[in-house]
Amino acid sequence: MAVLEAKDVSMYFGELAALKEINLSVEQGEILGLIGPNGAGKTTFFNCATGFLTCTRGDIFFKGQNITRVPGHRVCHIGICRTFQIVQSFSEMTVLENVMMGAFCRHPNTSNSMHSAQDILDFTGLADKRDQIAGSLTLADQKRIELARTIATEPDLILLDEVMAGLNPAETEEAIELIKKIHQKGLTIIVVEHVMEVIMNISHRIAVFDSGELIVEGPPEKIVRDERVIQAYLGEEYHA
Amino acid sequence: MQNDKNFYIIFSIILIFMAVAPLVIQNTHFQHLLIMLLLFATLSQAWNLIGGYAGQVSFGHAVFFGIGSYAAMAPLTHWGLTPWVGMLIGGVVAIIVALIIGVPVFRLKGHYFAISTFAVAEVVRELFTNWEWVDGPIGLDAPVLEQGFYNLMFYKNKLPYLYIVLVFFFIMMLLTFRMERTRMGYYFRAIKQRPEAAQAMGVHISKYKQYALMMSAFFTAICGALYGLYILHIEPATVLSLDISIKIVLITALGGTGALWGPLLGSIILIPLQEYSRIWLGGTGKGIDLILLGALIVLICIYEPRGIVGLLKRFNFQKGKN
């Protein structure tokens, strides 16, 4: 069964169509990559799916339940959690407290939340930094914190918005490892990413957005050979 | 936890000092100073819940303060109702006003809350100035009643007031300390730092802002009631004034916003400074105390925006390195 299913989703900001009749679904345990040029509607799609925006038309289903109009703070409790394109760690809190913020979603009690967060820190390799202030850490670590607190909410589906942007090759490698590890736990993942090597490597399936439209979707091997994708996004250079 | 133990030790020492010092130093002015200091520390801690922890700055806390003092004083003056009940009524009314402000305003992002608190404070002051039942601009004088706990009136000596305020200070500090360690405390700080990320973590932002404001309003009203009963005279120009609103903000900003010890530290510096600068530099109305205060705030803003708590932390950090 589809974990997330968008049916004819359109989002208008005034006259501007940010999303035009998007039909897209993600299966249980799948990693779906979203690519497309800037302004194609990838982040808007995330915002609609996580209740940050309510789409103008169409419906979004999560495990068969219509979540189109579910407010942002409820979405996390249902089992969807996201990261942000521009890093949004709680910069004045420690690493542990950041992850506890996620864990509070399922464990309202502080000490339970702390235990759960500690497990996540071990899992994500942040344990030795647990008492450092998040704002003092490197970008790579802050992105890792975001991932950690996202999975601390114990979601079924996570939406990762460019978690590898701005990382160096070694850090990117580590981030990929972590995402694969998270996937092995049984989570379904949607990834927005501009680094083609990454997205081709980890995605089972890729959907390409351009100017608010879903122009093509399919397995990575098919995407790199698609004429429309090459024109809209990849450029001739990438043409194999 | 080491941190918790330290708090209980320091807090106990302060409480014992506050309780014993006025017995040793039998100076009325010193006792008055302590009462005002504790009252404003409690009041600023109440403001700190919404303004410091949850990061929603209010410039109109005089509304809750004034409501509290009128709710205790007016029924006492007219019907002889015990001020303890009046105090509770004030707290409840303050919560209702907090809802009236919060429900529409907390849906918005940005500075609308600060602006609206300012506006509501002005409106309420005008209302009370024109309300005959509470003698409009003249205000209310506490009636002369039998002294004692029931009427919360003590004529011979200030000590009972001091201990009553001390109890409320104790409750407020302990509550804030406990709150810091609950999910709600974390949520407040998260909302202040990154509202969008907090929402993604499942935090109902407007609801938690509302909780913070309601708690803050309730305790501010109680402080207002205590103030009225201690001073024995209230009027819109004092208890509902912008001065009170600003003073609460300044004390907390000076001490450290969103910090447990901020309000107390701010009061320890600001209240004596204000009292003595008035004595030494001439009477009220000239505003020299406020000029000093302003200068202090400017210095704090430039050198340590986290307030005195920030200064102490910096000092501790350097000590740790050596």
- Between CA A143 and CA B259 the distance in angstroms is 27
Residue A237: the pLDDT is 58
Residue B322: the pLDDT is 43
Residue B14 near residue B260 (C-beta atoms within 8 A): no
Are A1 and A70 contained in the same domain?
Answer: yes
Contact A113 B183 (CB under 8 A): yes
CATH number of domain containing B100: 1.10.3470
Q: For residue range A109-121, list pLDDT tens digits in order.
A: 999 999 999 999 9
Tell which of A114, A133, A154 closes a domain: A154
Domain count, chain A: 2
Residue A37: the pLDDT is 87
CATH number of domain containing A190: 3.40.50.300
Domain count, chain B: 1
Long-range (24+ apart) CB contacts under 8 A made by A135-144 are A135/A89, A135/A91, A135/A92, A137/A95, A139/A87, A139/A166, A139/A167, A140/A167, A140/A168, A140/A171, A140/A174, A140/A175, A141/A95, A142/A87, A142/A89, A143/A83, A143/A87, A143/A167, A143/A175, A144/A175, A144/A178
Long-range (24+ apart) CB contacts under 8 A made by B101-108 are B101/B213, B102/B206, B102/B209, B102/B210, B102/B213, B102/B214, B103/B210, B106/B56, B106/B205, B106/B206, B106/B209, B106/B210, B106/B213, B107/B206
More confident: B230 or A238: B230
State the amino acid at position B261 in one-letter form.
W
Domain of residue A211 covers 1-79+159-240
Q: Which of residues 177-216 of B touch A (CB under 8 A)?
A: 181-183, 186-187, 189-190, 193-194, 196-205
Interface size, chain A vs chain B, as Cβ–Cβ contacts under 8 Å: 72
Query: Which of A95, A99, A104, A105 would best serve as a mutation to test chain B binding (most B beta carbons within 10 A)?
Result: A104
In order of B29, B37, B243, B269, the CA distances from B263 in angstroms are 22, 10, 17, 10
* B203: chain A residues, CB-CB within 8 Å: 73
Residues 6+ apart with CB under 8 A from A172: A164, A195, A198
Are A145 and A172 contained in the same domain?
Answer: no
Residue B135: the pLDDT is 87
Are A164 and A229 contained in the same domain?
Answer: yes
Are A75 and A95 contained in the same domain?
Answer: no
Walking along chain B (322 residues) 10 residues at a time, the average pLDDT comes out as 81 92 87 94 97 93 96 92 94 96 86 89 93 89 84 84 95 95 96 94 95 97 96 92 91 92 93 81 66 81 86 74 46
Are A131 and A91 contained in the same domain?
Answer: yes
Contact B202 A77 (CB under 8 A): yes
pLDDT at A21 over 80: yes
In order of A49, A130, B179, the CA distances from A6 in angstroms are 8, 38, 41
Dihedral over alpha carbons B185, B188, B189, B192 (to 10 degrees):
-170
Tell which of A123, A154, A185 closes a domain: A154
Round the CA-based radius of gyration of chain B to a whole number and report it. 20
CA distance A99 to chain B (A): 10
Q: For residue range A215-230, list pLDDT tens digits in order.
A: 999 999 888 888 888 8
- Across the interface, of A92, A101, A109, the residue whose CB is closest to B201 is A101
Tell which of A99, A130, A154 closes a domain: A154
Domain of residue B234 covers 2-321
Q: For residue range A38-58, list pLDDT tens digits in order.
A: 889 999 999 999 999 999 999
* B198: chain A residues, CB-CB within 8 Å: 90, 101
- Between CA A125 and CA A118 the distance in angstroms is 10
* A149: chain B residues, CB-CB within 8 Å: 201
List the alpha helices (DSSP H) in B107-204. 112-129, 159-180, 183-193, 195-200
